[in-house]
Amino acid sequence: MDQLPRPGFTKKQIYLLLTGLLLAQMIASIEGTVLATAAPTIAADLKGFDQLTWVFIAYLITSTVTTPLWGKLSDLLGRRRLYELSILTFMAGSALCGAATSMTTLVWFRALQGVGAGGIFTLTMTIMGDVLPPRERGKYQGFMMSVFAVSTVLGPLIGGLIVDNTTWRWIFYMNIPLGFAALALSRVTLNLPFLKRTHDIDYRGAVLLAVWVVAALLVMELGRGWGWTSARALVMMALALGAFALFVREEINASEPVIPPHLFRERIVTVSAVMMFATGAVMFGIAIYAPMFLQVVAGQRATRSGLLLVPMTIGMLIGSTTTGRIFTKSGKYKWYPVGGGVLQLIAVALLASMSRGTSTLLTSSYMLLFGVGAGMMFIVTLVGIQNRVDVRDMGSATSTNNFCRSLGNAFGTALFGSIFIARLDKELLTRLPEAGLSAKTLSQSPVQIQRIADPFVRNGVIDSFSHSLVAVFAIGIPLCLVGLAISFFMPEHPLRDSATVGLTEGDEPKPAITPMR
C-alpha cells in the first residue's frame, strides 16, 4: 500500500476548518428542536394536528438509523464527498420542508432532512478526528460539543421568534444560505488525501440495521400510546429483536460490516458505548421532565421553565471544554469519566429529592451539575475512541459512539414517559378518586393545572405531579450507577501526537507521552 503525504494544518487553517464544521453542526442541531415552539402553528396551517408527532419522529428515526451508515461509507469512500453530500441532503430536505403543502409531505421531507443530519453529526466529529492529533483534539472537540448543546437549547427560541415575526417556512429556508456557507468552507479547507481500498458494501447489514432500529424506535416513541402489550407493540418488539439477531450474524460474517464487531474488542469502545447509552437516556429524561416540575409544581410560566435547560447546557460547555483543555496538556483522561459519572449521580439524586418548596435556583444548580458531568463523559469517550482505533475504522467508531447515545435518548424518553404516566395515574386515583382525572389529559396541558378553581383538587393534582416526577428522577439513579460503574473500566492509552490524515492501515504513530498503566 502506497504511503500518502501527511499534510499539516496551520492554526489559521484549523480555525477556518472548524468554523465550517461548527456551522454545519449548528444548523443540524437546531433543526432537532426548532419545531418545539413552532409545531402548533405549522399543524394549524397545514391542517394536520393528528400527524404532528410524526414530524419529530421522522427526523429522529432517519438521523439515528443513518448515523452508522454515514460513518462506514466515509471509511470506504472518503470523508469530503460524504460530508458534502450530507449537507446537500440536509439542504434539499430543508427546502422541501419549507415548500410543504400538507402535513404528510412535511413528514416525508423531515425524514430526508434527518438523513442529512445523521451524516453531519457523524462526519463533523470524524473529520476533526482526522485532522487533529488526539493530544490537541480535546479543546477543539469541546467547542464542537458546546455548539451542539447550545444549538439544541436555542432551537425552540429561534422557532418561536420566526413564527412570531414571519412565516414558519423560514425555519427551514434559513438552513439553505447557512448550508451553502458550510459547503464553501468545505471546498476551501477540506483538501484531505484519501487512499481508496477495495470494498464490498454490506447492503444486507444496512437493511437489517434500518429494520431493527426503526422498529425499536417506533416502539419506544409510540408504545405508550399503543399500549405496551397491544398487538402492534408486540409485533414491533418481535420485529426489532428478530432483525437485530440477524443483523449481528450478518455483521460477524460480512467483509465490510456497517458496525464492525472487532471494534468492541477494544475495551474503550465497549465501555464508551455503555456510558453513552446510559448518559443519553438520563439526559433526555431530565431535559423533558425537569421543566415540567417547575411549570406544574412550582407554578412557573412555560417560557421560564423551559429556560431550565440553559444551566444544563452551560454545564456541558464547561465540562467538555475544561476537560478537553486539561487532558490536552496532561495527556491523561481515565478519571474524568468517573468524575463526570459521580457528578451526574449526585445531580440526579438531588433532583429526586425535590419537593414543592424547592426553589428555581436550586433546581438550576442541579441541572448545571448534571451538565458538567455529561460534558466530561462525552469529550473523553469521543477523543479516547478516535485515539485508539485503526485509521480504517475512524468513521465507523465515531458513528457507533453517536449511535449509542441516540438510542439512549430514545430509550430514556420511552422509559421515563411510561413511568411518569403510570405513577401519575396511580397518584391521582389515590388522592382524588372522585375527580375523574387522568395523566394523559393533565400532562398535555400542565399550564391549566394552576387555574383549577377548587383548591383541594388543585393541590391534589400538584402533589400528584410532584411525587410522580420525583419517582421519574429516581429511575435515573440506577442508570447513572451503571454509567459510573462501567467508567471505572475505561482504559487509558497514550494520546498520539500526530493526526490521522495521511496514515494508512496499521500505522502506529508515536505516542506523545509515556504509556500509562
Could you report the per-residue pLDDT of 183-196, keeping only the tens digit for each?
998 888 877 666 56
Q: How much is the pLDDT for 505?
A: 47
Backbone angles phi, psi at 333, to 5 degrees: -135, -5
Q: How far apart are CA 210 and CA 240, in angstroms?
A: 10
Once rounded to an integer, what is the mean pLDDT over residues 9-35? Answer: 83
Q: How far apart are CA 257 and CA 276, in angstroms?
A: 22
Q: How far apart are CA 159 and CA 39, in angstroms?
A: 9
Q: How much is the pLDDT for 387?
A: 87
Q: How much is the pLDDT for 475?
A: 92
Output the CA torsion sign for 400, 183, 89, 218. positive
Least confident of 9-23, 281-295, 503-517: 503-517
List CB contacts of 425: < 8 A, sequence separation 6 or more.
Answer: 438, 439
Closest C-alpha among 190, 146, 169, 185 to residue 29: 146
Query: 428 falls in which pLDDT band (50, 70, 90)?
Result: confident
Query: 1 falls in which pLDDT band (50, 70, 90)?
Result: very low
Once rounded to an integer, what is the mean pLDDT over residues 230-238? Answer: 94
Query: Is it the case that residue 4 has pLDDT exceeding 50?
Result: no
Query: Is it the case that residue 6 has pLDDT exceeding 50?
Result: no
Who has greater pLDDT, 434 or 3?
434
Query: Is it the case that residue 510 has pLDDT exceeding 50?
Result: no
Once rounded to an integer, what is the mean pLDDT over residues 263-272? Answer: 94
Residue with grid cell 432532512, as numbered in its chain: 113
Q: How far apart are CA 339 and CA 103, in angstroms?
A: 46
Query: 332 falls in which pLDDT band (50, 70, 90)?
Result: confident
List the alpha helices (DSSP H) in 389-454.
394-431, 439-444
Q: How far apart are CA 394 and CA 404, in angstroms?
A: 16
What's the half-sphere exposure (Cβ side, CA atoms, 13 Å) at 300? 21
Q: How far apart are CA 411 and CA 421, in angstroms?
A: 16
Who has greater pLDDT, 462 or 474?
474
Query: Is it the case that residue 95 has pLDDT exceeding 90?
Result: yes
Closest C-alpha among 397, 387, 322 to residue 132: 387
Q: How much is the pLDDT for 499?
A: 64
Query: Is it the case that residue 12 has pLDDT exceeding 70?
Result: yes
Once rounded to an integer, what is the mean pLDDT over residues 48-76? Answer: 87
Task: Name the grid cell of 279.
Answer: 448518559
Closest C-alpha among 346, 353, 381, 375 to residue 487: 381
Exposure string over 228-251, b if 16+ CB within 10 A, otherwise e? eeeeebeebbebbeebbebbbebb
The answer to whether residues 472 and 330 touch, using CB atoms and an 8 Å cutoff, is no
- Quick one: how far is CA 175 from the chain centroid? 20
Q: How much is the pLDDT for 195?
A: 58
Task: Name the grid cell of 193.
Answer: 488525501
Q: How much is the pLDDT for 445?
A: 59
Q: How much is the pLDDT for 476?
A: 94
Total count of residues recorded for the chain: 517
Query: Is it the case that residue 508 has pLDDT exceeding 50?
Result: no
Query: 474 falls in which pLDDT band (50, 70, 90)?
Result: very high
How confident is the model over 194-210, as pLDDT tens digits?
A: 656 566 788 899 999 99
Q: Sort 481 into a burial class: Cβ within 10 Å, 0-12 / 13-18 / 19+.
A: middle
Least confident of 86-100, 137-151, 211-225, 433-447: 433-447
| Cβ atoms < 10 Å from Cβ of 339 | 18
Query: Is it the case that residue 96 has pLDDT exceeding 90?
Result: yes
Percent of the chain exceeding pLDDT 70 equals 89
Least confident of 16-25, 138-147, 245-254, 472-481: 138-147
Least confident of 69-83, 124-138, 480-494: 124-138
Closest C-alpha among 122, 130, 56, 57 to residue 89: 122
* Angle between helices 67-77 and 52-65 in degrees, nearest 10: 30
Query: Is it the case that residue 93 has pLDDT exceeding 90?
Result: yes
